[in-house]
């Protein structure tokens, strides 16, 4: 069984905020697979079904972000789900808006929800999809991540939500390594400055005096 978790805060006032992009991602994935978040357990809204021949639970913790682990850990224990089968989707201020970065494991970084999940699971060995929401150094961090998403930014993030659905599909079908290979953005190699380039065969290097 797999546990797919989108992080966010419950309540109307937190809808369409950057901190809730994880909720948005699993909402879209559930709708695409004709599933509804119509069940409650362990302080979480969840949907359950068979997706890509796998038993899957989609979870939106209702604990508020900083205590996300209080919902994730009981689900993992109750359904006997190994940590490597838990995929977390969450916002990340380290990346520009629209960038996603998939990691196989790692610390919670600066994200309070992820830090709590790492603490409660007592493990860093679970994959995650980090969804870039950018950052505004002129604003307090909490005001930025809890701020409502402007229309132009929303268009970009809506496209990312669709992409995240493809990431989840690939993860369930072929594993996290395949999802990383397909959807992690490759770093572009920097070209060497012209003066560092060696002359091509047949060319004569002219030195400036």
Of 19, 90, 111, 148, which is the active-site residue? 19
Angle at which helix 151-174 crosses helix 176-183, to 10 degrees, equals: 140
Q: For residue 177, how many other CB atoms are within 10 A of its CB? A: 13
How far is residue 3's CA from residue 1's CA, in Å, rounded to a whole number?
Answer: 7
- Residue 72's CB is within 10 A of a number of other CB atoms, namely 28
Residue entry with tokens 């990312």: 160
Q: How far apart are CA 20 and CA 22, in angstroms?
A: 5
| Nearest by Cα to 167 from 4, 23, 37 | 4
Is 90 tagged catalytic?
A: no
Residue of 9, 28, 23, 7 whose CA lies nearest to 163:
28
Active site residues: 19
């Amino acid at each position: 069984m797999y546990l797919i978790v989108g992080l966010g805060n419950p309540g109307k006032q937190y809808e369409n905020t950057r901190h809730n992009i994880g909720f948005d991602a699993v909402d879209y994935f559930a709708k695409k697979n004709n599933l509804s978040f119509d069940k409650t357990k362990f302080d979480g809204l969840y949907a359950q079904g068979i997706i890509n021949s796998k038993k899957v639970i989609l979870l939106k913790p209702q604990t508020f972000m900083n205590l996300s682990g209080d919902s994730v850990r009981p689900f993992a224990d109750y359904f006997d789900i190994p940590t490597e089968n838990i995929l977390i989707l969450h916002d990340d201020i380290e990346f520009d808006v629209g960038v996603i970065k998939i990691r196989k494991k790692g610390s919670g970084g600066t994200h309070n929800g992820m830090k709590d999940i790492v603490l409660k699971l007592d493990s860093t060995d679970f994959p995650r999809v980090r969804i870039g929401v950018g950052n505004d150094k002129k604003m307090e961090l909490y005001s930025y991540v809890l701020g409502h998403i402007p229309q132009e930014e929303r268009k970009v993030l809506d496209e990312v939500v669709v992409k995240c659905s493809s990431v989840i599909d690939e993860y369930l079908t072929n594993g996290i390594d395949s999802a990383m290979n397909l959807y992690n953005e490759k770093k572009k190699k920097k070209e060497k400055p012209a003066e560092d380039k060696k002359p091509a065969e047949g060319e004569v290097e002219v030195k400036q005096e």
